[in-house]
Amino acid sequence: MSTGRTWFTRANGLSLLRMLFAPALALAVTDGAAAAAAALFWLAVATDVADGRVARRRGEVTPYGRLFDHAADATFVTVGTAALAWVGALPVALPPLIAAAFLQYAFDSRSLAFRELRRSRLGHWNGIAYYVIVAVPVMRDALGLAWPGAGLVLALGWLLVALTVVSMSVRLRVAFSTE
């Protein structure tokens, strides 16, 4: 594939859609439009599942595409958690930590030079947990459920804050180790 066409792929288009869903999700959450927030969340999940499959099927897998996919994920969950923090459902500390963790990951992996991303097991699980921590209150409210309660969701948010700090600390320690 030529360098000029690297960006213009169907897979990157799906990732871009996910980024564009982020402000709409935030608006839905802050306006209390629970059904719209749930629909936007599941559309974002669908684009996240589809973009990698489309890239592999069409032979469009590139380091840039992987970085863009991660950036779309980070944008979506950062904006989603920020909206949930705004309405008091999640800790205010979580959204900036998610953004900082992604930036650390990108810089640490030298992704800006479009090389392979350096993966971390804890970082991978945190990335999944970021989606889950958005899904739980969004789906609870869309379905009109009482469980999990606000206190439990907030406590889980604080646990994710702690895990994000641990993940970032481990990545820093590894980056500066002399091994």
CA–CA distance, 79 with 92 (Å, rounded to integer): 12
56, containing H or E segment? helix 34-58
Judge if pTM exceeds 0.85. yes
Please state at what angle helix 34-58 crosses helix 10-31, rounded to 10 degrees: 170
Domains within the chain, CATH numbers bracketed = 3-175 (1.20.120.1760)
pLDDT in single tens digits along all 179 residues of the chain: 444 456 789 999 999 999 999 999 999 999 999 999 999 999 999 999 999 999 999 988 888 888 899 999 999 999 999 999 999 999 999 999 999 999 998 887 665 565 555 678 898 899 999 999 999 999 999 999 999 999 999 999 999 999 999 999 998 887 677 55
Per-residue confidence (pLDDT) for residue 3, from 0 to 100: 44
Cβ atoms of residues 82 and 53 within 8 Å:
no
Whether cis (ω within 30° of 0) applies to the bond prior to 148 is yes
In 3-133 the beta strands, taken as DSSP E runs, fall at: none
75: Cα separation from own chain's centroid: 6
The amino acid sitting at 106 is A
What was the pLDDT predicted at 4?
Answer: 45
Radius of gyration of the chain (CA): 17
